[in-house]
Structure 1
Amino acid sequence: MHVHNVILQLVSVATLGSHCALQVLKGAKDEGFKTILVCEKKREKLYRRFKFIDELIIVEKFSDILNQEIQDKLKQQDAILIPHGTLIAQMSSEEIESINIPVFGNKWILRWESDREMKEKLMREAALPMPKPVTDPKDIEKLVIVKRQGAAGGKGYFMAANEEDYNTKRNQLISEGVISKDETLYIQEYAAGVLAYLQFFYSPLTNELEFFGVDQRHESDIEGLGRIPSEQQLKSKKVPSFNVIGNSPLVLRESLLDEVYTMAENFVKASAKLVPPGMNGPFCIEGVYDENAQFSAFEFSARIVAGTNIFMNGSPYTTLIFDEPMSMGRRIAREIKEADTNNQLKNITT
């Protein structure tokens, strides 16, 4: 049996049972924390398998974490909630901001991640190179990708070549119940090249930026289309989906790393200016390298991303920073431990 560290810390670490919960709570346990999982009843069986989860709080749906009774349970154990993509997908910004237990990082910046116009504003402030947004379907002149608001995991995204193509596909997805007719869609010129999701951690305790790793996402069923001969593709009327199924690791050419750090440093500075207290903790800059190795950023995630699950034992880049296996989940727990020891928890939570 693997023996985990004895619980040493007074605060505990909590998260929702989805996305990267296993990585987060394993990392917290390795740093000596009590671990709490807010778990939907339907997933209880899965999470009971893992001995490093000390307590499961069973709920019918994740938004039950907004109930006073659940928050009181977490408060009694001095829990710090680690936000991830499921929190953003399942709750509105107002609901997330109303959570009255400490949230790791900056809960106010999650609104900027969920709202496409705010997201674009922050990326511009950070001077990130970006594909051009298209404000009206009638202005579509070249291939675009159409996205939904918030963290939808790629479901309901589609490509369009012109206004007619956009309307046809949008109407088809509405009729299939994938998107609703009144939701606001975001149109962006499609950037072709090698996809790269750049993972970082910024510590307000040391004012240091750490580059954690790179992943790529595997999306269904767009990825399978390459296996279908073009003749059959042309006959198909199905709108391909970009639903994220999993992730795989990537290592960049070393000559690209200087720009990677610069982009992230600019993003941290812009966040501190527009959304105090800034981009504390894990984040991801998501984009594509073109044929000239120029990066174009189409998204950011202002919290831990599921691509970090690849690196539960560390990544090629964390090996350069730490002399021990360091996942993003463990790095979060290490930051909480440092802050707790030095009476600075208020500097790393909101």
Structure 2
Amino acid sequence: MNVRDRREPIRGGASVKLPTIGMLGSHSGEEIGVAAKANGFKTVIVCQKGREELYTKYNKHLYDHVIILDRFQDMVDEETQNTLRNLDTVWIPNRSFSVYVGYDNIEQRFDVPIYGNRRILRVEERGTPRDQYWLLEESGIRIPRQFRPDDIDRLCIVKVQQKDNPLERAFFYAESPHDYEKRSKEMVANGLIKESDLAAATVEEFVIAPRFNANFQAYGMEDAYGSLDFVGFDDRIQTNLSGLLNLPASEQLRIKMSVVNEEVGHKGVTMRESKKPLVYKAAERLLEGVKKHFPPKMIGLFSLQGALTKDSEFVVFDLSPRVPGAPCLGPTSPEMRRLSLKFNREIRSPLDLCMLDIRRAAEEDRLNDVTT
């Protein structure tokens, strides 16, 4: 049956034409595919040649249509876009989509409806005037104090683009200008970063406190579901940092090895109930900031990565304004039970909420309210 003619029954015996859910074959392509199929949608995935095996061999049951390109960036070519439009695609953006396709292409050339606010994706680009740090500050959210290298007067973390890996940053620590100079030269000598990227590096105070990625869903169909739901906490597993932390402190001090913070996984965590209002307040402030500076508003999943201090401050040092890519949330977050009660149906993944938002919009002929 032609996808454009596919209809699903809805309330009152009428029918609705469901869009096809589109995704990039990287980052969270598997997670999005599972949620889309579980919620009755057809799917299309765009893969890059040589990186498609996870999707086309091991998980082919998740994808009704597969497009394989020489480069992810080629998806803005008219032929690929026509295929996506003919499938009535609603595209779910993730981090790989932003990095590999590029913000200019997304904003100016990708003429396919995106679930969420395509204008907010660019805040993750480092070194732009209206980046995530600017938005967090404008939203009244506490962020770590930032420094110039010559002004470092406390323990700081330096975040710089990782060499030859556009998805990841490298990190090192410094507590003085001399320390910064020494450590940055070591990182360059070890081939982890390029000296030219240090000019755009972020130098911020290191908040010594437990970390929490607070994940939320903001709704396009706000009149039906409210403005947002909290979906759970996670923390990142990073190589080689997580491996080094498994060693006794004496061994960590003995070996000579540069620390690398490349994200390779996630694990579920929880926060004491009395502290959770702090993250709700931060998310609400962000929604107001996005509405003011990046209209129309925040739509879809987003994450505030922060630390909870001993003074009960939630200090945010990273914003993910799209699917966070933490598949551990579904099976580990206690919020799934609470959300199942709210929606009177089983919610097994945060992405189920995206699919409910899209389905409700399709049922009411309001896809423009959930896409840009």
TM-score, scaled to structure 1: 0.91
Tell me whether 1:45 sits opposite 2:45 in the alignment: no
* 1:266 paired residue among 285, 290, 295: 285
Q: State the Cα RMSD in Å.
A: 2.2
Counterpart position of 1:3: none
Counterpart position of 2:177: 163
Partners of 1:275 and 1:187 in 2: CA distance = 26
**Cα contact 1:219–1:245 (8 A) shared by 2:** yes
Partners of 1:148 and 1:301 in 2: CA distance = 17
Counterpart position of 1:221: 240
**Cα contact 2:47–2:66 (8 A) shared by 1:** yes
SS at structure 1 position matched to 2:310? coil
**Cα contact 1:130–1:296 (8 A) shared by 2:** yes
Matches within 5 A, 1:121-270: 121-134=134-147, 136-148=148-160, 154-183=168-197, 184-206=200-222, 207-270=226-289
Cα distance change on mapping 1:178 and 1:97 into 2, 3 Å: farther
Tell me whether 1:89 sits opposite 2:107 in the alignment: no
Q: Report the CA distance between 1:243 and its aligned residue.
A: 0.7
Counterpart position of 1:115: 126
CA deviations over 1:173-196 (Å, ceiling 9, x no partner): 334443233221111111111110
CA deviations over 1:223-259 (Å, ceiling 9, x no partner): 2223445555445443211111111111211111222
Q: Report the CA distance between 1:61 and its aligned residue.
A: 2.1
SS at structure 2 position matched to 1:65? helix
Counterpart position of 2:334: 316
Partners of 2:54 and 2:220 in 1: CA distance = 35
SS at structure 2 position matched to 1:258? helix
Tell me whether 1:338 sits opposite 2:349 in the alignment: no
Counterpart position of 2:24: 16
Q: Which runs of 5+ in 1 are unaligned?
A: 1-5
Cα distance change on mapping 1:67 and 1:173 into 2, 3 Å: farther
Counterpart position of 1:100: 111
**Cα contact 1:23–1:312 (8 A) shared by 2:** no
Q: Which moved more, 1:289-298 or 1:80-89?
A: 289-298
What letter is aligned with 2:37? K
Q: Which runs of 5+ in 2 are unaligned?
A: 1-5, 9-16
Q: Report the CA distance between 1:311 and its aligned residue.
A: 2.8
Partners of 1:89 and 1:181 in 2: CA distance = 21
What letter is aligned with 2:282? M
Cα distance change on mapping 1:161 and 1:154 into 2, 3 Å: farther
Tell me whether 1:349 sits opposite 2:349 in the alignment: no
What letter is aligned with 2:44? I
Partners of 1:91 and 1:140 in 2: CA distance = 36
SS at structure 1 position matched to 2:51? helix
**Cα contact 2:233–2:329 (8 A) shared by 1:** no
What is the aligned-residue identity percentage? Answer: 28
**Cα contact 2:278–2:313 (8 A) shared by 1:** no
SS at structure 2 position matched to 1:182? helix
CA deviations over 1:47-69 (Å, ceiling 9, x no partner): 12221211111112211212222
Partners of 2:273 and 2:70 in 1: CA distance = 47
TM-score, scaled to structure 2: 0.86
Q: Which moved more, 1:75-84 or 1:222-231?
A: 222-231
Q: Report the CA distance between 1:87 and its aligned residue.
A: 1.5
What letter is aligned with 2:160? R
SS at structure 1 position matched to 2:44? strand
Counterpart position of 1:301: 320
Tell me whether 1:58 sits opposite 2:72 in the alignment: no
**Cα contact 2:234–2:329 (8 A) shared by 1:** no
Partners of 1:52 and 1:227 in 2: CA distance = 36
Aligned residues: 343
What letter is aligned with 1:27? A
**Cα contact 1:201–1:282 (8 A) shared by 2:** yes
What letter is aligned with 1:100? D
SS at structure 1 position matched to 2:203? strand
**Cα contact 1:14–1:36 (8 A) shared by 2:** yes
**Cα contact 1:314–1:325 (8 A) shared by 2:** no
What letter is aligned with 2:143? M
SS at structure 2 position matched to 1:25? helix
CA deviations over 1:76-112 (Å, ceiling 9, x no partner): 1111111111122324321221211111101111111
